C-alpha cells in the first residue's frame, strides 16, 4: 500500500501537482499504520532486508522524474552552472544583466526568486557543482548524489542504533517514511546531503571521537544550519574549558574556511539575510504571533527569543544527547517562520533513535501543506489556511505535551 501510494504520482489522471498531493497524503496515512507495526513487531531478517531493498528501489525509480512539489533543484543547477563557468554564485542574482550571456531555455527562467542571490552554504554549492558536472541541466545527477546520501543515512542509522543497543528494525521508521522519499528522491532537496553527516556525527561522538564529530556536525551545518542547535547542548555537556571551547571553535573554523574563497569577491550572506527577513510559510507559533502582533520583525524576534530560551532549558534538563537534540529541532520547527516539508526530515531522521510519536505524526501531517501549493499552482493564489495549519500541528503539539509529561509514552516498547 505504501509503495503503491507513492507510485500513484505517475499513474493518476489529474494535473501533476494534484497527483503529487494525493500520493503524498495517502502514503503518509499508510505510514502511520506501518509505523505502529514496525514498533510492535520484529519483522525477521528476510522481511527487514526486503523492506530496505524496496525503499532503495523506490528512491531509484524517481531518478529521472521531474520534481513537482518544489522547483529548488533549478537553483542548484544555476549555482552549479555558474561555478563551472568560474563565477561566484553569491555575487549576482540570477536575473542580473551581467549573466544574460549564460541563459538557456531552462535556466534561470525556472529558478524561483530570480532577484535573490544564492542562500545556500558552500558545501551545498559544491554539491550543486558536482550535480551539474554529472548531468548538466538534467535532474538525474543531483538525484544520484541524493540517493548515495540516503544510502549513507541508512548505514549511519544502522551503526547508531547498534551503538544505542536498539533493534535495527527502527531504521524502517525512516527508510519507509514517505517524506524523505518525496522530498529527496523525487523533488531533490539538498537537505538529504546533510542528514548522513549529522548521523555519522552522532556515531562518532558516542564512540568517543569528539573532534571528528564536531567536524561532521559542522559539515552538516554547511548544508543547513540545523545542527547549530547542538552547540549549546554539547557546550553544557562537556567538562573543562578546552573541551567546551572545541564545541564551537571547530564548527566556526570549518564553516569559515568554506566561506573564505567566496567572501573575497562577494557578500556571501546577502541572499540568506534577505530571505530570512521577509519569507514566511507554515510556522505555527510565528503565524499565531503575527495574527496578534501584525509586525513581521517583532514576531520574528519574539520567536527567536522563545526558541533560544527553550533550547537552553532542554540542554540543561535533558541528559540524553539525542533526545535533547530531537526536542531542540522540534522546537525550531515550531518557532520558525518558515517550515517547508523537507525541513521536517531533519526531525524524522532522528526518530529511529529517539522513537517519538510526535516526529512520526509530524512526518505525516506536514504533507497537508501541499494544499497551499495546489492553490498557488492551479489558481495563482499563495494563501495559507488556518484550518490546515491547525490540522497539521495540533496532533504534534498534543503528542509533544504527552511525551514531555509522560516520558515513558514515547513508544512503550522493549528493546528486544
Note the pLDDT tens digit of each residue in 360-412: 999 999 999 999 999 888 888 888 889 999 999 999 999 999 998 876 555 55
Q: Which residue has the cell 510559510?
A: 281
Rounded-to-integer distance, Cα 59 and Cα 55, Å: 6
289 Cβ contact partners less than 8 Å away, ≥ 6 residues apart: 299, 302, 303
pLDDT above 80 for 123? yes
Confidence (pLDDT) at 276: 81
Q: Give me the residues paired with residue 327 across strands.
A: none
- Provide mean pLDDT across the span 271-280: 84
Residue 205 grid coordinates: 561522538
101: number of Cβ within 10 Å = 7
SS3 114: coil
C-alpha dihedral over 259, 113, 281, 300, to 10 degrees? 50
Residue 263 grid coordinates: 567572501
Whether 182 contacts 150, CB under 8 Å? no
Nearest to 314 by CA among 298, 335, 300: 335
Q: Which residue has the cell 551545518?
A: 221
157 Cβ contact partners less than 8 Å away, ≥ 6 residues apart: 171, 174, 199, 349, 352, 353
Q: Which residue has the cell 564553516?
A: 255
For residue 108, say if its preceding peptide bond is cis, omega within 30 degrees of 0: yes
Q: Give me the residues paired with residue 338 across strands.
A: 281
User: For residue 345, how many C-alpha atoms fall within 13 Å in the half-sphere facing its CB?
Assistant: 29
Return left, alpha or beta for 44; rule: phi > 0 is left, psi -120 to 50 is alpha, else beta.
left
Confidence (pLDDT) at 409: 56
pLDDT above 70 for 295? yes
Confidence (pLDDT) at 411: 58
Q: Give me the residues paired with residue 281 across strands.
A: 338
Q: Which residue has the cell 543497543?
A: 165
Rounded-to-integer distance, Cα 376 and Cα 379, Å: 5
Percent of the chain with pLDDT over 70: 98
246-274: pLDDT as tens digits: 999 999 999 999 999 999 888 999 988 88
Q: What is the DSSP string of 332-347?
A: HHHH-SB--GGGGHHH
Average pLDDT, the chain: 93
Phi then psi for residue 78, to 5 deg, are -65, -45
Whether 284 contacts 389, CB under 8 Å? yes
State pTM to two decimals. Answer: 0.95
Nearest to 86 by CA among 262, 271, 270: 262
When pLDDT is cut at 50, 70 and 90, the band that residue 43 belongs to is confident
- Provide mean pLDDT across the span 187-194: 97
Reduced DSSP (H G I as helix, E B as strand, rest coil) percent helix, strand, coil of the chain, to 5:
75, 0, 25
Supply the DSSP symbol for 297: H
Amino acid at each position: 500500500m505504501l509503495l503503491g501510494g507513492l507510485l500513484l504520482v505517475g499513474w493518476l489522471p489529474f494535473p501533476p501537482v494534484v497527483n503529487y498531493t494525493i500520493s503524498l497524503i495517502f502514503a503518509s496515512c499508510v505510514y502511520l499504520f506501518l509505523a505502529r507495526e514496525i514498533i510492535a513487531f520484529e519483522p525477521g531478517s528476510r522481511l527487514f532486508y526486503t523492506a530496505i531493498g524496496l525503499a532503495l528501489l523506490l528512491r531509484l525509480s524517481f531518478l529521472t522524474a521531474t520534481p513537482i512539489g518544489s522547483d529548488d533543484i533549478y537553483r542548484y543547477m544555476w549555482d552549479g552552472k555558474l561555478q563551472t563557468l568560474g563565477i561566484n554564485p553569491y555575487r549576482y542574482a540570477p536575473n542580473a544583466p551581467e549573466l544574460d550571456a549564460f541563459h538557456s531555455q531552462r535556466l534561470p527562467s525556472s529558478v524561483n526568486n530570480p532577484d535573490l542571490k544564492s542562500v545556500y552554504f558552500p558545501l551545498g554549492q559544491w554539491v550543486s557543482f558536482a550535480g551539474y558536472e554529472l548531468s548538466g541541466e538534467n535532474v538525474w545527477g543531483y538525484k544520484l548524489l541524493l540517493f548515495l546520501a540516503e544510502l549513507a543515512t541508512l548505514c549511519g542509522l544502522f551503526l547508531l542504533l547498534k551503538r544505542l543497543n536498539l533493534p535495527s528494525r527502527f531504521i524502517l521508521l525512516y527508510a519507509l517514511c514517505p517524506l524523505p522519499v518525496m522530498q529527496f528522491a523525487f523533488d531533490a532537496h539538498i537537505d538529504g546531503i546533510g542528514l548522513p553527516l549529522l548521523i555519522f556525527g552522532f556515531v562518532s561522538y558516542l564512540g568517543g571521537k569528539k573532534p571528528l564529530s564536531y567536524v561532521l556536525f559542522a559539515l552538516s551545518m554547511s548544508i543547513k544550519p540545523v545542527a547549530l542547535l547542538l552547540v549549546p547542548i554539547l557546550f553544557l555537556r562537556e567538562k573543562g574549558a578546552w573541551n567546551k571551547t572545541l564545541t564551537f571553535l571547530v564548527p566556526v573554523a570549518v564553516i569559515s574556511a568554506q566561506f573564505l574563497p567566496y567572501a573575497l569577491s562577494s557578500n556571501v550572506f546577502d541572499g540568506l539575510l534577505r530571505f530570512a527577513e521577509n519569507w514566511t510559510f507554515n510556522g505555527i507559533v510565528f503565524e499565531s504571533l503575527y495574527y496578534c502582533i501584525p509586525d513581521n520583525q517583532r514576531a520574528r524576534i519574539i520567536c527567536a527569543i522563545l526558541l533560544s530560551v527553550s533550547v537552553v532549558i532542554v540542554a540543561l534538563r535533558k541528559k540524553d544527547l539525542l533526545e535533547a537534540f530531537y526536542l531542540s529541532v522540534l522546537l525550531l520547527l515550531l518557532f520558525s517562520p518558515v517550515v517547508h516539508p523537507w525541513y521536517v526530515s531533519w526531525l524524522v531522521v532522528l526518530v529511529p533513535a529517539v522513537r517519538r510519536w510526535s516526529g512520526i505524526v509530524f512526518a505525516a501531517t506536514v504533507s497537508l501543506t501541499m494544499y497551499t501549493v495546489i492553490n498557488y499552482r492551479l489558481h495563482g493564489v499563495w494563501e495559507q489556511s488556518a484550518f490546515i495549519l491547525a490540522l497539521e500541528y495540533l496532533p504534534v503539539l498534543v503528542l509533544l505535551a504527552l511525551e514531555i509529561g509522560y516520558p515513558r509514552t514515547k513508544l512503550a516498547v522493549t528493546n528486544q
